[in-house]
Amino acid sequence: MNDGIMFDLHSTQIPKEMVELLPQIYSINEDLNKPNEIVQIALNFLYTGFPDFDHFLPSINKLINYKNQLNNLIAQYNSSFLSIFNYFDKRDEIEKLKQIEIDKYENENKVMEEFFQEMEFDSNWIELKKGRRGILKDLQKLYQNESTKDFTIICGEEEKEIKVHKLILIIRSELFKGMFLSVQDSSNQVHDYSGKSFETLNQLIYFLYHDEFNEKEINQEEFEDVKDYYQLNENSIIDFLLKDFI
């Protein structure tokens, strides 16, 4: 029984038909309060750019079915349902689902497009459905966003500074990962004494966000040496990000 529903069946005037539906109400309530599948689907999409088709449609259809059952119960018993049970879930994701009027037999792409538009993701799902382009585009925007960079690399004796996003460097370079993890938690900077020039290191950082380097600034041989030194993953950044999800 759900602890959130407090009433006495013998002292409260509840229609017999409603009492008979109590097991169904409890079942819906318990399922809706399990770890939310919609949030998991949304997070997976944000990290990979790929909708999880294997789990999305069954999950969304199940929640839509629950929503329809609740709507039918509320319509049938009107105010008595709400006043007696004080039940209806007001969480944002459920409220958004209420706004999505889709048939479970509709085309997958249409269902996905409408859902992600309702969830108000920054990028259009149609543009992101191949995954790689959308993530790379977001990383390029991140590279240009100075206000969100949370770490500073100080280069050599000249002590020139390069501001970065700590997480991006950690997932791409074992050397940077070791450097960052050895720094005290309270510090937001680290010195790089590799002997590499500021320009070379700057191009390396550019590559981590763009998955390419500027051949006018650094040649292929020099860049391969830098990649080896900083122990970059052999795959591109996008392949690296996607390999554990797809």
pLDDT tens readout for residues 140-179 = 888 888 888 888 888 877 788 999 988 888 888 888 888 7
* Alpha carbons within 13 A on the beta-carbon side of 242: 19
CA distance 72 to 75: 5
Confidence of residue 123 (pLDDT cuts 50, 70, 90): very low
All domains in the chain, ordered by first residue: 16-128 (no CATH), 147-242 (3.30.710.10)
Interhelix angle 132-144/198-210, rounded to 10 degrees, is 140
Confidence of residue 52 (pLDDT cuts 50, 70, 90): low
pTM of the model: 0.49
